[in-house]
Amino acid sequence: MHDLEPYYMWRELYVASEDENSPFFEREYSEFEFTNQIYNHLIHPQWDFFGSNTLYLKILYADYDEGFVIIEMIGEWNDAVENDIMFLKRDILEHLIDFGITRFIFIGENVLNFHASDDSYYEELYSDIEDDGWIVFLNFREHVLKEFRDANLDYYINFGGEFDDLHWRKLLPPQLYEVVAHLLSRRLG
């Protein structure tokens, strides 16, 4: 797992530690010291800790004018024991919402498992952004999506279908946003 680095090809466009509106503003990273881990597996030092012991993230791109953010994730999403959604919502997403972000694209290729609890934080997040916002999960593993469905999170989050195999690395962030927004408008329209 220590070789799985957050996507870095957009770094010339956006760096969360250099964005004064980012919850990770002025965070310093080591390329050589591996201090974060998921269980007994060290992970690349570029992943950001946000309060969860099993789930890490990286804000790949934020556009405050358009109101969207792209976040890549790694690890085990555990709401049942670790209450990951609480940390994610309270410490990251609410911060971004305060700066006008209402559309969230989560990339979950490296999310290995999901353990559900109740859906109250998802419902609360949905109500925080419901006027013009949305949440889309891209490229999560099928067994993780099944757990999301079993927990009835598909009421609050958009995933599945064309969102399961989107080749996002071929796109620039604004292009990815446009593709996702178009797919979502087709789905909801």
CA 80 to chain centre: 18
The residue type at 161:
G
Task: Encode pLDDT of 45-61 as tens digits.
Answer: 899 999 999 999 999 99
- Dihedral sign for Cα atoms in the order 174, 176, 178, 184: negative
Taking the C-alpha atoms of residue 71 and residue 88, their distance in angstroms, rounded to an integer, is 11
- What H or E segment, with its residue span, contains residue 17? none
- Establish if 127 belongs to a structural domain: yes
pLDDT value of position 1:
55
Taking the C-alpha atoms of residue 87 and residue 107, their distance in angstroms, rounded to an integer, is 18
Task: Encode pLDDT of 93-145 as tens digits.
Answer: 999 999 999 999 999 999 999 999 999 999 999 999 988 899 999 999 999 99
- Establish if 9 belongs to a structural domain: no
Residue bearing tokens 């890549």? 72
Task: Encode pLDDT of 145-181 as tens digits.
Answer: 999 999 999 999 999 999 999 999 999 999 999 999 9
First to last CA, the chain: 40
- Establish if 93 belongs to a structural domain: yes
| Alpha helical stretches, state H, 65-172 | 84-87, 94-98, 120-129, 142-150
pLDDT band with cut points at 50, 70 and 90 for residue 33: confident
- Establish if 10 belongs to a structural domain: no
- Six token digits for residue 34: 């591996």
The CATH number of the domain holding residue 88 is 3.30.750.24
Cβ within 8 Å of residue 95, ≥6 positions away = 23
- Establish if 30 belongs to a structural domain: no
- Establish if 41 belongs to a structural domain: no
- Establish if 52 belongs to a structural domain: no
Q: Taking the model in full, what pTM does it have?
A: 0.95
- Establish if 7 belongs to a structural domain: no
The parent domain of residue 114 ranges over 69-189
Domain total of the chain = 1
Measure Cα distances from 85 to 46, 67, 70, 130, 172 in Å: 21, 21, 17, 18, 28
